[in-house]
Amino acid sequence: MDQHEKDLEFEKTLDDSKLLLDDASRVADEEYEFTLESILSEFGANAQIPDVDIAPPKPAVSVAMPLPELPDSDEDEPDGADEDGAGELGDIVPALDTPQSYSLQEVLERTVQEVLDEQQKEPVLDELPPRRGLFSRKKIIETEELYAHFAPGGGEPKNVKEARPRSVEPEEPDEPEPPIEETVADYRDAAQNARRVTRFSALITLLMWLPQALARFGWMPQMYFEEKLFNTLPYFIGLALVCVLGREVFQYAAEKLLSLKVTYELLTALLCVAALADTAVAFLSDARNPAALPLHSVAALSMTCALWGRAMLFKALYDSFRVAALGDAPYIVTTTAGGAAKRRGGADGFSVTAQREDVAGRWQTIVLPVILVGAAVFSVLSTLEAGSWALFAWNLSAILAGANTLAFPLVYSLPLRRLTKRFSKSGSALAGYRGADVMRRSNCLILTDSDLFPPGTVTLNGLKIFGEESGKVISYAATMAHASETGLSRLFDNLLEQEGGKLETLSDLNYYEEGGVGGTIHGESVLFGTASFCRKLGVTLPTGLKLQTGMFLAVDGALIAVFAVKYMAAENVDWALHALSRAHITPVLAVRDGNITPALLKRKFGTDAHAVYPQLSTRLALSEKNGEKPCALIYREGLMPYAELAVGSKRLCRAVRAGNALSLAASIAGTLVTFYLSFVAAYALFTPLKLLAFLALWTVAAVIDGVFVDKY
């Protein structure tokens, strides 16, 4: 081939390239649209198109199938229209338009977006680092990838600290659980006996304090101040009777001491013994300094508070077990990686969990041994400084009285008693501090469709059918709603019953992220979901759509019916959402109805309580119905008892922790103050009434949260 022929071939190639570029520029025009006529005119009118049976596209088997974004129509509600479709449905849902055509640029954008969505992987929530306890390292439970998301679109929620599942303690081995009836009978007897004993002890303690109060104002005869028979012996007898009434406190303290645990019961028992010994020395010996008044009445008050705390604890547990003995609870509250969940299951393990030790008891067994050793050493030092061993019992009782604050028995029993009293009225039972602590640490509450919109609050406000029989439309819609297990199931089941229809055979059920479900009925591809779902799936919808919470039914890609669904706010749900918001508990919307979103909650209830709306796979997993290892039982329907348990558990843990911290601080401060006063022999400042005022102030500060723990 010579040079001339090569030049001709090169010029021909340039002409062909120019022609292709011109065609590409014409095709890329945004206004150019492909139609069957244009294709035939370009490639020849006589071109034959073979007849091929094209089956409808089958949805993916995966649970959540992202779809390409199509231009959404404005769904904002016009002025004067009901947000849920109230009014004439014909004004809200106009007639169907002709099928729309799309430019090449739109087709390319949809294809590229679909490829990107398929390649995008769902991020996994990073595992939280291990937490360290006071003396032990607590492991964090492994969270399944399925529960990793709590934010829509795969992002982290703004309140990530609240939305993430908190760490929980390792599971303890299962213990043998006696029948609940036996447990109820045991705690009923224990509560009645403790209540009766506390009343007698309180009466004796009041009689011991009354003469001292009258003597403080000079209202007692002179003989009372001069004769030990009147100012010492009666108090010895009274304290001895109180000790006899509180013999269970001595027994419990001895049992704990054998297991190398020091509790406030042991401090109370030692205080009573030391006060009894000092009162006996004051009555029998003249060598003891009379300026150091015996602290028998303070010891009696400490024993009475210990008995009162045990009585409230037994009564609180009895109330919980009494509710649990009513029968199989319709719902249990258990914890998952996504938070606390209300599910169906048995009450196995409830009573064992409720009787486990609380955090106050654990803290006290760590700090009180140090305080007890310090009290023993300080009493010896004060006795050596005074130079009289006759005051050893007084020094020991004085320092123990300052160390054994009156709030110790009330820190846990008082708030638990008040909460269980409220829970029993609302038809629920809490598994003690352990159950409350598990719910508190999750700080998330999983809510389903029926929790937010219980039966009766979702109604059908209208129906519009396009070219199909009403029987088929209702049967198909009821079948899809029933299979999806959303809050609409009962609504469409009732509609189907009124029409006398029946559920159809459904196969290949699929859930879609966009808010709908799809399946196959009698060989037809059926879609049922929100307007956004149908539009993104390519179903042609009426223009000027004014329906915000409607459900759309399409068969083989063609819209056949529109259902106007109205959601009404229930009063108890409104209270529950606001209570969760005030308590900073994050609701996790494990809903299957595509209409129920945080935006809908905001419109209906005025707040969404900072709800988290997870991805579809997470919502389906969290909406499971069965559970085990309950931390609470619920015997009533509705969101209110469920929310009460969550909020009350958080308040209980906060009250116990705050009260325990203050009581331990009071114990340390009381030990140091009483040691100083006894060491310098400031007997005039160390009277029973002044010591009572000191203890009472610390007690009020420590239990004030427990008094108002049920006020929410």
Give 536-549 pLDDT, tens digit per residue: 999 988 887 778 88
How far is it, in rounded angstroms, from Cα 304 to Cα 268? 10
Please report where in the chains the tokens 């009450």 appear, as a residue.
347
Q: By three-state DSSP, how is residue 560 classified?
A: strand
Q: What is the 3-state secondary structure (H, E, C) of 218-282?
A: CCCCHHHHHCHHHHCHHHHHHHHHHHHHCHHHHHHHHHHHHCCCCCHHHHHHHHHHHHHHHHHHH
Q: Cβ of 661: how many Cβ atoms within 10 Å?
A: 14
pLDDT score of 487? 87
Give kind and range of the element (H or E) at residue 307. Answer: helix 296-324
pLDDT-derived band at 9 (thresholds 50, 70, 90) equals low
On the question of pLDDT at 46 being above 80, the answer is no
HSE-up (13 A, CA, CB side) for residue 17:
6
What pairing do the DSSP bridges indicate for beta strands 339-343 and 331-336?
antiparallel
Q: Cβ of 214: how many Cβ atoms within 10 Å?
A: 12
HSE-up (13 A, CA, CB side) for residue 525:
14
Task: Please provide the distance, in angstroms rounded to a whole number, between the alpha carbons at the two ends of the chain.
Answer: 97
Please list, in sequence order, all residues whose beta carbon lies within 8 angstroms of the beta carbon of residue 379, skipping any fewer than 6 positions away.
Answer: 392, 395, 396, 398, 399, 678
Q: Cβ of 369: how many Cβ atoms within 10 Å?
A: 15
Question: Which position has the higher pLDDT, 38 or 156?
Answer: 38
To the nearest 10°, report the CA torsion of 43, 48, 52, 55.
40
Please list, in sequence order, all residues whose beta carbon lies within 8 angstroms of the beta carbon of residue 42, skipping any fewer than 6 positions away.
Answer: none
Going by C-alpha positions, the residue among 268, 245, 242, 252 that lies closest to residue 313 is 252
Question: Which position has the higher pLDDT, 84 or 165?
Answer: 84
Bridge partners (DSSP) listed for residue 83: none
pTM: 0.76
How far is it, in rounded angstroms, from Cα 527 to Cα 476? 10
On the question of pLDDT at 18 being above 80, the answer is no
> What digits encode the pLDDT tens for the residues 91-120?
555 555 444 444 545 544 555 455 445 544
447, 576 in Cβ contact below 8 A? no
On the question of pLDDT at 381 being above 60, the answer is yes
pLDDT-derived band at 2 (thresholds 50, 70, 90) equals low
On the question of pLDDT at 270 being above 80, the answer is yes
How far is it, in rounded angstroms, from Cα 247 to Cα 268? 11
The two structure tokens encoding residue 124: 């996994």
Q: By three-state DSSP, how is residue 230 classified?
A: helix
pLDDT score of 54? 37
How far is it, in rounded angstroms, from Cα 678 to Cα 682? 6
DSSP string, 420-442: HHHHHHTTEEE-HHHHHHHHHHH
pLDDT score of 451? 93
On the question of pLDDT at 67 being above 70, the answer is no
